[in-house]
Amino acid sequence: MDLDSKRRNRRRYLAAGGLAGVTALAAVGLFVNGSPVALPKLADMATAAQPATAGTKNADDKKKENKEEEKGKKVRCDADELIAAIVHANADGGARLKLEPRCTYTLTAAQDDNGLPVITQRISIEGNGATIVRAANAEAFRIFNVAFGGDLKLHDLTVKGGESQTDEGGGALLVQEGGRATLQNSTLTLNRSTTFGGAIANYGVTKVLGDSDGHSKDNKDGKDGDARETGSQIRNNTTEGQGGGIFSRGSLTVEKSSLSYNNAGNFGGGLKNSGGVTNITHAHIGHNTAAGDSGGIEADGDAITRIKDSWVTDNTAGALGGGIGYFGGTLYVQRTYVRHNTADGDGGGIANFGGQAVVDDSKINENTSRISGGGVANGHTEIVLRRTEINKNRAIGETSLGGGIANFTDPLQPPGRVSLTKSRVIENFATNPPGGIFSENNQVTVDDDSLIIKNRPTNCHGNPVEIPNCFG
226: CATH: 2.160.20
CB atoms within 10 A of CB 280: 27
Residue 380 lies in a domain: yes
Residue 203 lies in a domain: yes
* DSSP assignment string, 133-167: EE-TTSPP-BSEEE-TT-EEEEEEEEEE--EE-SS
Q: Are strands 437-439 and 104-107 parallel, antiparallel or unpaired?
A: unpaired
Residue 27 sits at φ, ψ, to 5 deg, of: -75, -40
Provide the Cα torsion 386, 392, 397, 399; round to 10°.
60
Which residues have a Cβ under 8 Å from the Cβ of 410 and sit 6 or more positions away? 9, 10, 379, 380
Supply the pLDDT for residue 372: 98
Supply the pLDDT for residue 226: 44
Supply the pLDDT for residue 24: 34
Which residues have a Cβ under 8 Å from the Cβ of 305 and sit 6 or more positions away? 273, 277, 278, 280, 297, 299, 326, 329, 330, 331, 332
**Where on the phi/psi map is residue 288: left (φ > 0), alpha (ψ -120 to 50), or beta?**
beta
Say which DSSP state 57 is in.
H
β-bridge mates for residue 1, sequence order: none
> Is residue 56 over pLDDT 80?
no
Are 259 and 289 a contacting pair, CB within 8 Å? no
Are 429 and 410 a contacting pair, CB within 8 Å? no
Q: Residue 85 corresponds to which amino acid?
A: A
Cα distance between residue 432 and residue 400, in whole Å: 6
**Where on the phi/psi map is residue 328: left (φ > 0), alpha (ψ -120 to 50), or beta?**
left
How far CA 427 is from CA of 3, 389, 392, 432, in Å, comes to 33, 11, 5, 14
Cα distance between residue 67 and residue 302, in whole Å: 46
Cα distance between residue 461 and residue 207, in whole Å: 47
User: pLDDT (tens digit, 9 = 90+) per residue, 360-384?
Assistant: 999 999 999 999 999 999 998 999 9
Region 5-27: what's the mean pLDDT? 39
Pick from 177, 186, 236, 179: nearest CA to 209: 186
Q: Where is average pLDDT lowest: 31-45, 73-87, 344-358?
A: 31-45
Residue 104 lies in a domain: yes
Distance between alpha carbon 98 and the CA centroid of its chain, in Å? Answer: 24
The pLDDT > 90 percentage for the chain reads: 79
Q: At what angle do helices 20-28 and 42-49 cross, to 10 degrees?
A: 160
Supply the pLDDT for residue 63: 54
User: pLDDT (tens digit, 9 = 90+) per residue, 289-308?
Assistant: 999 999 999 999 999 999 99
Supply the pLDDT for residue 328: 95
User: pLDDT (tens digit, 9 = 90+) per residue, 399-445?
Assistant: 999 999 999 998 888 899 999 999 999 999 999 999 999 999 999 99
User: pLDDT (tens digit, 9 = 90+) per residue, 163-195?
Assistant: 999 999 999 999 999 999 999 999 999 999 999
Confidence tier at 217 by pLDDT (50, 70, 90): very low
Supply the pLDDT for residue 28: 34
The total number of structural domains in the chain stands at: 1
How far CA 471 is from CA of 365, 433, 438, 462, in Å, comes to 22, 13, 13, 11
Cα distance between residue 170 and residue 167, in whole Å: 9
Region 344-357: what's the mean pLDDT? 96
Length of the chain: 472
Region 314-337: what's the mean pLDDT? 98
What is the chain's alpha carbon radius of gyration, rounded to the nearest angstrom?
Answer: 31
Supply the pLDDT for residue 93: 97
> Is residue 212 over pLDDT 80?
no
Supply the pLDDT for residue 211: 78
Confidence tier at 3 by pLDDT (50, 70, 90): low
User: pLDDT (tens digit, 9 = 90+) per residue, 58-71?
Assistant: 666 555 545 545 56
Supply the pLDDT for residue 219: 45
Angle (nearest 5°) at CA 369 between 366 and 374: 50
Residue 249 lies in a domain: yes
Residue 45 lies in a domain: no
Pick from 174, 120, 189: nearest CA to 142: 174
Supply the pLDDT for residue 444: 97
Pick from 102, 236, 214: nearest CA to 161: 236
Supply the pLDDT for residue 46: 36
> Is residue 271 over pLDDT 90?
yes
Supply the pLDDT for residue 410: 87
Domain span at residue 260? 94-453
Supply the pLDDT for residue 470: 97
Q: Where is average pLDDT lowest: 27-36, 95-104, 132-141, 238-247?
A: 27-36
CB atoms within 10 A of CB 207: 19
Supply the pLDDT for residue 29: 41
Confidence tier at 214 by pLDDT (50, 70, 90): very low
Are 263 and 269 a contacting pair, CB within 8 Å? yes
Say which DSSP state 59 is in.
H
CB atoms within 10 A of CB 363: 20
Are 258 and 281 a contacting pair, CB within 8 Å? no
Q: Give the three-state DSSP class for 472.
A: coil
Supply the pLDDT for residue 385: 98
